[in-house]
Amino acid sequence: MAFTVQHVHIKTRDPKATMQFYIDNFGAKPLGEIPGRGFRVSLAGLQLNITTLIAVQNHEQHYGIEHIAVETEDYAGSLAALRKNGVRILEELEGTGGHKVCFLEAPDGAQLEVIEKG
């Protein structure tokens, strides 16, 4: 079960202003728009997804740094191992590119997103 960091997700009431904060103050580079949701920037090589709360996601969402996303080539095997370890899966969805994604509960109310590499 191998993972790589895919992105850190920041949820905000004003994605454009938040994106501009990271550009102006930390030299983030715009990567593109997330249609109808927000923006992607590169902060020293780390992708930040900056959006509002997302209506199609039913798990509890938070403003601020909301979750870390990891990518795996073996999505089914990774989820089976996580479930075997007692990890609570909050929600499974189809991602914007047709790949599978899930949100899971980490300690102290933190969340992780597992994305099928595609």
Mean pLDDT of 44-62: 92
- Residue among 74, 73, 75, 62 nearest 106 (CA): 62
- Residue among 102, 101, 104 nearest 118 (CA): 101
Confidence of residue 76 (pLDDT cuts 50, 70, 90): very high
Give me the domains of the chain, ranges plus CATH numbers.
4-116 (3.10.180.10)
Alpha carbons 86 and 37: distance in angstroms, whole number: 32
pLDDT tens sequence across 7-46: 999 999 999 999 998 898 778 999 999 999 999 999 889 9
* 98 φ/ψ sector (left φ>0, alpha ψ -120 to 50, else beta): left
Confidence of residue 68 (pLDDT cuts 50, 70, 90): confident
67 Cβ contact list (under 8 Å, min separation 6): 8, 9, 103, 110, 111, 112, 113
Amino acid 46: pLDDT: 93
